[in-house]
Amino acid sequence: MIRYATIGTSLIAEQFVTGANATGKLQLSAVYSRRCETGLAFAQKFGCKKVYTSLENLALDDNIDAVYVASPNAFHAEQCELLLNFGKHIICEKPITISADEYKRLKMLADKNNLVYIEAIIPIYNTSRPRIKEALSKIGNISMARIDYCQRSSRYDCFIKGEHVNIFDMSLYAGTLMDLGVYCVYTAIDLFGMPKNIKASANFLKNGADGSGIAIFEYDNFSACLTYSKTGQSIAPTEIVGDEGSVIMEKAVYYQDAYLVKAGKKIPLFDDVSKETLMGYEALAFYNFINKIGLEIYKQNSEICLKVHTCMDKIKQESKIAYK
């Protein structure tokens, strides 16, 4: 049993804990929150009795093997570095770092200390992922791809009214690319590899946050168009088109609701599962890596992570996205 703590008490942390509990292999043993009452409320939902308001005290707790980090983006690297120096395995919400160089530095620290350090990103750990790749092998030569994640934020109206909203606060390294676009980049890198060239642009909100963006990934014989937005809702599916068929994903960010289209027939690839179950797959992979199971997969996924954040850096540069 892996004893772990959470940093953060948001909905996504709750979903992770629910998924992790379902594996039967990880036990929530502590919760970190800046406010004790918030930490206690979260911990009580899951029968956890230990709450920290000091990250250093959490790091010193020898009864904690690992930490799930779900704090604002700007704190990921600092918190992960502290925890890695104290011997904690880490699964960190996306984006794991704010740059490829930062990821490389912390991955080297993790390797030096024989620790697991992974990004919590649903599609890479979805057990249906091989079915997507198998379906791609049946559509012939790919001629184009559209990868979409446009989801109007539930907090956008508050932002418009002038309220402070973390997900649009660029001092926290937030914005749409970091929150939603990263999923599109993961899909492209996982399915097609590194592009030969990247072109990108963004639309900015009044405070300088990127509200939406487009990136074009150029490959040898086709281009992939990545679209992402937190200011508008899209119902367009992700579609990968070949000369013998296509693969459609209504929920590409999770590798969910997917179909193979051949000769005009739409063939479901698998049944969808809940987000908590999908996050449970992440948690199970994390457990396995800590126990030296599937280390080749760990290596491959770490390489994908570095490629993703290398591309993210290029998109930021091309789009003139600035953090302050």
Three-state SS at 248: strand
Torsion-angle region of 162 (φ positive above 0: left; ψ -120 to 50: alpha; else: beta): left
Q: What mean pLDDT comes out for the span 225-249?
A: 95
CA angle 217, 222, 225 (to 5 degrees): 40
Band the pLDDT of 270: cuts 50, 70, 90: confident
Res. 252: pLDDT tops 80: no
pLDDT tens per residue, range 145-177: 999 999 999 999 999 999 999 999 999 999 999
What pLDDT score does 58 carry? Answer: 97
Percent of the chain with pLDDT over 70: 100
- On the question of pLDDT at 123 being above 80, the answer is yes
The answer to whether the predicted template modeling score (pTM) of the entire model surpasses 0.85 is: yes
Give the model confidence (pLDDT) of 37-88 as tens digits. Answer: 899 999 999 999 999 999 999 999 999 999 999 999 999 999 999 999 999 9
Q: Residue 258 is inside which H or E element, if any?
A: strand 256-262
Q: What is the CA radius of gyration of the chain?
A: 20
Structural domains in the chain?
Answer: 2-120 (3.40.50.720), 126-271+306-319 (3.30.360.10)
Helix (H) or strand (E) holding 78: helix 76-85
The per-residue DSSP string of 183-247 comes to: HHHHHHHHHH-S-SEEEEEEEE-TTS-EEEEEEEEE-SS-EEEEEEESSS---PPEEEEETTEEE
Read off the pLDDT band of 250 (50, 70, 90).
confident
**One-letter identity of residue 54:** S
